[in-house]
Amino acid sequence: MAVTETGHAAAREIDDLYRRHGSEVYRYALAVLGNHADAEDVTQSTFLNAYRSLQQGVHPRKPSSWLLAIASNAIKQRFRQERARPRQVELDDRIADTSAEAVGPTVGEILTALSHIPPQQRQAIVLREFEGRSYKEIAQILTVTVSALETLLFRARRSLADELEHQLTCTDAQFAVSQAADGRLGRKERRRLRVHLEECPDCLRFVQAQKRHRRALRGLALVPIPVSFTLFRGFEGTASAATLPTVGAGTAIAAGTGGA
Ligand SMILES: [Zn+2]
């Protein structure tokens, strides 16, 4: 009897919590995990675990912090599983589109940078900067002391700045592609470019287009030389060459250099 009543109350409460805090939990998971599929999974298990706790008679005093603490645990579990599989970063168009702000990194660039910093630092900075939570609250959510959190946030900000500073913009990346085509890119730059290309379909398309264009440009070498030009070459070095118009001579020099 009592169990059934608690069960009904729990069902009502979890519905209510989901309506009020669902998007908060989801946004947090998305910012920390970097992709929608994982964020959905974490949101689901968060509310499932919350529901079980409510059924057992738990009454959270601050529902929002309580849910984020549950989400943080679910995220920690994800990271543990993730270590076993290759990292996958999906930059959703819907997020990238909201990044129309003038200067500074785009949302997509921030998410990529975040995905490269350690998970605990990522959680701390997301809770602080995106969610605007207090030190006390974040410390509780992540189960660390306030002074440990201070250090964590400092490291997170430094890592993030470092990542953003070393992150290639698409313009940089495409310039690097151009340099690489001529073998003018160092080992370190090649590595940065490879990292960028793994995460940027636009620049990858640029690379593929470049390959096609290069083939087409090489094809130019096979274009037949006009008869007049061949005849002119025949006069080269003889006295009559000096009597030819300047325009013709200029063409000969340019063509001669190209052929050499
Ligand atoms: Zn790019």
What is the whole-number distance in angstroms between the Cα of residue 39 and the centre of ligand 1? 24
DSSP state of 61: S
Q: What is the pLDDT of residues 135-163, one digit of tens each?
A: 999 999 999 999 999 999 999 999 998 88
What is the whole-number distance in angstroms between the Cα of residue 168 and the centre of ligand 1? 8
What is the whole-number distance in angstroms between the Cα of residue 81 and the centre of ligand 1? 29
Q: How many CB atoms lie within 10 A of CB 240?
A: 10
What is the whole-number distance in angstroms between the Cα of residue 164 and the centre of ligand 1? 14
Q: What is the pLDDT of residues 171-191, one digit of tens each?
A: 889 999 999 988 899 888 888
What is the whole-number distance in angstroms between the Cα of residue 3 and the centre of ligand 1? 56
Topology annotation, domain 1-84: Rna Polymerase Sigma Factor; Chain: A (1.10.1740)
Q: How many CB atoms lie within 10 A of CB 223?
A: 7
- The CA distances from residue 32 to 90, 129, 136, in Å, are 12, 12, 20
% residues pLDDT > 70 (the chain): 76
Rounded-to-integer distance, Cα 259 and Cα 223, Å: 13
- Identify which of 174, 172, 38 has the alpha carbon closest to the alpha carbon of residue 111: 38
Q: Are 154 and 179 in contact (CB under 8 A)?
A: no
What is the whole-number distance in angstroms between the Cα of residue 170 and the centre of ligand 1? 4
Q: Return the pLDDT at 67.
A: 96
Phi and psi angles of residue 155, each rounded to the nearest 5 degrees, phi first: -65, -40
**Is the pLDDT at 62 greater than 60, yes or no?**
yes
What is the whole-number distance in angstroms between the Cα of residue 199 and the centre of ligand 1? 8
Q: Read off the amino acid at residue 50.
A: A
| Mean pLDDT over each residue of the chain, to the nearest integer | 80
Rounded-to-integer distance, Cα 132 and Cα 119, Å: 18
Q: Are 153 and 187 in contact (CB under 8 A)?
A: no
- Identify which of 221, 200, 202 has the alpha carbon closest to the alpha carbon of residue 210: 202
Residues 6+ apart with CB under 8 A from 219: none
Rounded-to-integer distance, Cα 138 and Cα 144, Å: 8
**Is the pLDDT at 102 greater than 70, yes or no?**
no
**Is the pLDDT at 258 greater than 60, yes or no?**
no
Q: CA 217: distance to chain centroid?
A: 33
- Look at domain 106-163 and name its CATH class: mainly alpha
What is the whole-number distance in angstroms between the Cα of residue 131 and the centre of ligand 1? 28
**Cα angle 228, 241, 227; round to 5:** 10
Rounded-to-integer distance, Cα 208 and Cα 21, Å: 44
Tokens 């109350």, located at residue: 9
